[in-house]
Amino acid sequence: MTEEFMGFPRKKGRPGIRNKIVILPSVVCVNNVATQIAKKVENAIALPHPLGCGQFGPDFNVTSRTLSGMATNPNVYGVVVVGLGCENITSKLLARQVKRMKKPVEFFDVQDVQGGTIAAIEKGITFAQ
């Protein structure tokens, strides 16, 4: 029997098996928005979590590193970061961390989208596609 790896090399040489789009909420308040975006986009997965608000110091650092680390897994092709707009761990910060790993990334804050939650979900779907 011949063993063979059905993955592919990433730009930095790390192997990948899947090409997922991560919809990453920067804060617990937008978990539902991220989940709704992921439901509408093939190969997308939301990473909801209970954090992102009112975090400072070491707690802030661990959470931001953990979230950006999950988003830059070798099986992830690209990332859409969704923020609310008032959190400590911002969508812009997470997008910058993801971009350093050479992943395609888009970000936005729900509070900046005209039309509320529904319009924010549509914007996220557009970014993810």
**Residue 100: which CATH number?**
3.40.1400.10
Q: Tens of pLDDT along 58-89?
A: 999 999 999 999 999 988 999 999 999 999 99
Query: What is the domain count for the chain?
Result: 1
Q: Give the range of the structural domain holding residue 123, as residue numbers without chain letter.
A: 17-128
Answer yes or no: is 39 within a domain: yes
pTM of the shown model: 0.89
50 half-sphere exposure, CB direction, 13 A CA radius: 0
In a domain, 1, yes or no: no
Contact between 46 and 103 (Cβ < 8 Å): no
Q: pLDDT per residue over 85-115, tens digit each?
A: 999 999 999 999 999 998 999 999 999 999 9
Handedness of CA 51, 52, 54, 57 (dihedral sign): positive
**10, part of any domain:** no
What are the strands, taking DSSP E only, across 1-129?
8-9, 15-16, 20-25, 44-46, 76-83, 105-109
In a domain, 37, yes or no: yes
Q: Indicate whether 51 belongs to any domain.
A: yes
The two tokens of residue 92 are 């812009």
